[in-house]
Amino acid sequence: MLPTPKKYFLTSGSSEGDTELTAFDGALLDAGIGNINLLKVSSILPPQAEHAPGLKLPFGALVPTAYGTIICEEPGALISAAVAVGTSEDSFGVIMELSDKCSKEEVERQIEQMVRESFAMRKMNLKEIKISAVEHKVKKIGCCVAAVPLWY
């Protein structure tokens, strides 16, 4: 059984690349998570997980991460990605990810609504929402990524 993570942070980044993969790699580097291995997880923040901005993760670590990404090869297109964490007073939290061809302001607005809806569906009281978002105007091949790495 895997241990339950105790820390988390929100991050986002964007990049151009000559290929989709190098654009994605550059966006991860821009977000500060390009030298770890992401283990994609769904959307639940463990109870009492501590927000730890600036947390340094060991190179090559296997890191549970909720993330959204968009890659686009349409020059001039505006792309964005966002993550949001909603926390409750006495229980677990909810993580949402979103990426789209729109502005940073639009993904921030949409993702906040998604968190509010997810708490309403669970009949939980929402204490706080944290959001990280990024936008990028594509030149050749662009990528945006937004993530919530979880750590022990």
- Is the predicted pLDDT of residue 90 greater than 90, yes or no? no
Choose the catalytic residue: 12, 14, 15, 43: 43
Q: What is the pTM of this model?
A: 0.96
Choose the catalytic residue: 37, 105, 117, 125: 37
Choose the catalytic residue: 97, 99, 132, 135: 97
- CA 46, 52, 54, 60 dihedral sign is negative
Label residue 1 by pLDDT band (50, 70, 90).
confident
DSSP state of 74: -
Q: Can 42 be counted among the known catalytic residues?
A: yes
Report if residue 133 sits inside a domain: yes
Do residues 12 and 131 lie in contact, with contact meaning Cβ atoms separated by under 8 Å? no
The count of other CB atoms within 10 Å of the CB of residue 89 is: 9
Where residue 11 sits, what CATH number does that domain have?
3.50.20.10
Residue type, 54: G
Q: Can 97 be counted among the known catalytic residues?
A: yes
Q: Name the H helices within the chain.
A: 20-31, 104-122
Report if residue 2 sits inside a domain: no
Total tally of structural domains belonging to the chain: 1
